Structure 1
């Protein structure tokens, strides 16, 4: 993910320092070594938004990424593998939650509590997908986000996910 933020649509009151911190964090998360990082490295950050929800006035964030479904992401049917889908929902929803935490100046050391996924339609090899994650709740101990994965090439919703996370505690030794 590039450190240049000029091609990202920023909506909300972001200082350059906040943009830099968010970009550093997303770059770190998508460039680290580990499970599914070959896919995460190809995520292209397109949009970051922080806003107040109309119903209750609470702050929320929305983040959007693009990615082309490639060979290392598909199953035998040449559609995006379920494991790849869940991994992308995990990464992108975590980014939405972390961006809101950074924006609010709060800790962001969350761990997954539950991640539910619904498959609506396949995302075939070669299509461009858009992954949109939006925070749902942001409490002191638990946070949650919703994610939609769209086949941007054909204009259809493929997968949705609900991710609940909780504040991590120090390990007991």
Structure 2
């Protein structure tokens, strides 16, 4: 178990899953990513995220499948805004990318015990309303993909808890590592005729 405090994280996920997700160092060392970098893009933003809930439950549309919900909270600071003083689109994409990955990893940990980290395939972002410097955000992430699927996806809604409105929503699709180089039978090439 980790020495990181998880008492503030609600939800029915196991303490093992909560401890793993709250310790960001484990996320990348667990899958042996190289090179070993001291800092990466958006570190200050990611470090400011506070996990508030991790839950696992049956999918209402398909009761034989599980779903995970991961909720993070963050306050908008100067390094997160654009020239208008509102949440930057790039920062929104970073929040969707990182936080939705937590939901995908939580489902994998619950079902397989292994925290597979996929490669991003697509991130679709919809901007609903601006959020300004100092607003408190709630990032709600839900993963419904089966761990048996090659492509996993999670949806994200970024809400302003200050103004009680939806700011950004998105869908993040990842491909499981090791499957990006699937072997396909080679077809013999025929000469090109002009």
| Residues 1:125 and 2:126 are matched in the alignment | no
Q: TM-score of the superposition, structure 2-length normalised?
A: 0.79
Give the structure 1 partner of residue 69 of structure 2: 62
Q: Structure 2 CA distance, aligned partners of 1:117 and 1:88?
A: 11
Q: How does 1:3-152 map to 2 (within 5 A)?
A: 3-12=4-13, 14=14, 16-24=15-23, 26=24, 28-29=26-27, 33-57=39-63, 58-105=65-112, 106=114, 108-138=116-146, 139-152=148-161
CA shift at 1:29, angstroms? 4.5
CA distance in 2, matches of 1:74, 1:85: 10
Aligned partners of 1:84, 1:8: CA distance in 2, in Å? 24
* One of 147, 169, 173 as aligned partner of 2:178: 169
Q: Please give the secondary structure, in 1, of the residue aligned with 2:20.
A: helix
- Does the 8 Å CA contact 2:66/2:144 hold for their aligned counterparts? no
2:186 is equivalent to residue 160 of structure 1 = no
Moved more, 110-119 or 130-139: 130-139
Q: Which has the higher strand share?
A: 1
Cα distance, 1:81–1:22 mapped onto 2, change above 3 Å: closer
The offset of 1:171, in angstroms, is 8.5
Q: What is the aligned-residue RMSD (CA, Å)?
A: 2.1
Cα distance in 1 for residues equivalent to 2:25 and 2:4: 7
* Structure 1: segments with no counterpart, 5+ residues: none
TM-score, normalised to structure 1, is 0.88
Cα distance change, pair 151–82 in 1 and its aligned pair in 2 (3 A): same
19 and 80 in structure 1: CA distance in 2 versus 1, 3 angstrom threshold? closer
Q: 1:116 to 1:126 in 2, by over 3 A?
A: same
Greater CA radius of gyration, 1 or 2?
Answer: 2
Structure 2: state its 5+ residue gaps: 29-37, 182-194
